[in-house]
Amino acid sequence: MSQANRSLVTIDDLSNREIEALFCLADEMSGSMSDQSGLCQGKIMASLFFEPSTRTRLSFEAAMLRLGGQVISAADMGATSLAKGESIADMARVVGSYADIIVIRHPWEGAARVVADYAGVPVINAGDGSHEHPTQTLCDLYTITKERQTIRGLKIALCGDLKYGRTIHSLTYALARLGAARIYFFSGPGVEMPAHVLGKLTQDYGGKLIKGPGDDTQSLAETLGGQSVDAIYVTPTDSHQLALMPGVQIKVDIRDGAIYVTRLQKERVGDTGPGAASKKDYPVIDARLLRRKGLERTLVMHPLPRIDELAYEIDADPRSMYFEQAARGVPVRMALIALLLGAKELIIPQEEDSLVQKLDYHVYEGDPGVKCANRLCVSNQETEARYIKPKFKIVSLDPLTLRCIYCEHELHPQYIASSDWHEGKLENKKYHSAESHWIRKIKPENLIIFDSENEAQARGFKPSKYVTVDR
């Protein structure tokens, strides 16, 4: 499949083979930067950064300039027509008529998908709220691959703000897909990995989630400074039987893997939100920690900027990779831009990696009775709700679980009905518990979902005898 005219909204928009081939192209470009200046000559990139950025914005703009293209930009939402109440869709249509490709960072989760739906040109997500940051993940994966030659079989510890760190979310999905043996989640208090991210790991990638405490998590906690480990994700190809057996000690060794740490996202946490008071117990990577047994070859990674969680004293340590991550952002983004603009093309084998499951979830186009529960989702914003119809993937029936198309937060509605009334009689227009047997009997195309009984009754439905289900 050609990469031209496609968008990159989430890391799942690229297959494993495409990621690997993109890295080969980045290698080629990094070895001859001056030879790439004609690839995108005459092309224009719109750089729309509505949140602060240094590395991501400048590396994208440097990448486009090195490819011979030009850049137009907007960095202050207050200085654009969005401040006047313009919708993201209208902005996307207009900017898409000015530029050949758009890079956008926006505080609303799912905003990049809306821009991609309406712009008419390739769109790259440079971070949408706490949702994803797929190009940072490409830089992270590229760095690990350069240092360790492969992702498969590595053990990676993710530390810090796992709740609001969008880089962590994209990286988690990619590591699972690419076969990292185990992913350890080691968060600050109040900023644990969100349930919907952990849910997607097991639903989409088929591994096992082991929640601490236990011998495995305690062993790693001691290695990383004594704090508790929230959970471990075990890739399907890695044996997890011992980890599920109580009382069996497992030696945790991330010697050849990586510790990936992120700062507390204060701009999202605020002064009083969850995690705001966690500085005292927040994971810190310093020289003392790196002297611990088992970390002799462990890579230290960080998307930057850092605050207090990463000591300056380890900058010269050969295990520290964060400045390499930033520098490698230019060739990686050069390769991506060239591919999406059709200046380069990857030859990808037809066979896909066995760890990528081809999941065909039914899409439920929510009526007014079902809305995303995430207040920061683009579908819940007043300017966008005028034209965005909530959409969800039905990812599970037991329990009924909807995943928002835009921000990927999960919803667990309690009531359902069918649009296929029995014999077409109005008296059979009834709603049921989502836990009843009707959830498996109603065809997906006939399914109607309600957030509450009041909503069901307001729509003219009456309760059936299956409204309550005994557990």
Residues 146 and 275 in one domain: yes
Residue 68 lies in a domain: yes
Q: Region 317-321: what's the mean pLDDT?
A: 94
Distance CA 417, CA 86 (A): 36
Residue 1 lies in a domain: no
Residues 193 and 121 in one domain: no
Residues 176 and 292 in one domain: yes
φ/ψ of residue 47, rounded to 5: -105, 100
Lowest mean pLDDT among 89-93, 198-202, 230-234, 297-301: 230-234
Instruction: Express each pLDDT in 374-397 by its tens digit.
Output: 999 999 999 998 899 899 999 999
- Our count of domains for the chain comes to 3
Residue 335 lies in a domain: yes
Last residue of one domain, picked from the residues 272, 291, 321: 321
Residues 289 and 144 in one domain: yes
Residues 146 and 245 in one domain: yes
Task: Name the strands in the sheet holding 123-128, side by side, starting at the edge strand that comes first in the sequence.
Answer: 70-74, 44-49, 101-106, 123-128
The number of CA neighbours under 13 Å toward the Cβ of 77 is 15
Residues 6+ apart with CB under 8 A from 402: 364, 366, 370, 392, 393, 394, 395, 410, 411, 412, 413, 449
Between the alpha carbon of residue 312 and those of residues 44, 322, 455, 468, the distances in Å are 38, 12, 55, 58
Q: Which residue has the tokens 């905003």?
A: 111
Residues 149 and 282 in one domain: yes
Residue 268 lies in a domain: yes
Residues 277 and 146 in one domain: yes
Task: Name the strands in the sheet holding 462-463, side by side, starting at the edge strand that comes first in the sequence.
Answer: 447-450, 415-418, 430-433, 462-463
Amino acid letter, residue 42: G
Residue 211 lies in a domain: yes
Residues 285 and 400 in one domain: no
Distance CA 124, CA 115 (A): 9
Residue 3 lies in a domain: no
Residue 375 lies in a domain: yes
CATH of the domain at 416: 2.30.30.20
Instruction: Express each pLDDT in 3-20 by its tens digit.
Output: 888 999 999 999 999 999
The residue among 29, 121, 32 whose CA lies nearest residue 342 is 121
Instruction: Express each pLDDT in 239-283 by its tens digit.
Output: 544 444 333 344 456 778 999 999 888 766 655 555 554 566 778
> Based on C-alpha coordinates, what's the Rg of the chain?
23
φ/ψ of residue 193, rounded to 5: -60, 130
Residues 228 and 303 in one domain: yes
The residue among 85, 77, 115 whose CA lies nearest residue 99 is 115
Residues 57 and 26 in one domain: yes
CATH of the domain at 94: 3.40.50.1370
Residues 313 and 395 in one domain: no
What's the predicted TM-score (pTM) here?
A: 0.89
**DSSP category for residue 160:** E
Last residue of one domain, picked from the residues 288, 321, 354: 321
CB atoms < 10 A from the CB of 294, how many? Answer: 16
Instruction: Express each pLDDT in 123-139 by its tens digit.
Output: 999 999 999 999 999 99
Confirm if 108 and 87 have CB atoms less than 8 A apart.
no
Last residue of one domain, picked from the residues 293, 321, 349: 321
Q: Which domain holds residue 439?
A: 362-463
pLDDT of residue 352: 55
Amino acid letter, residue 47: S
The residue among 158, 162, 225, 170 whose CA lies nearest residue 56 is 170
- Maximum pairwise Cα distance, the chain: 76
Percent of the chain with pLDDT over 90: 56
Peptide bond into 305 cis (omega under 30): yes
Residue 115 lies in a domain: yes
Residues 145 and 231 in one domain: yes
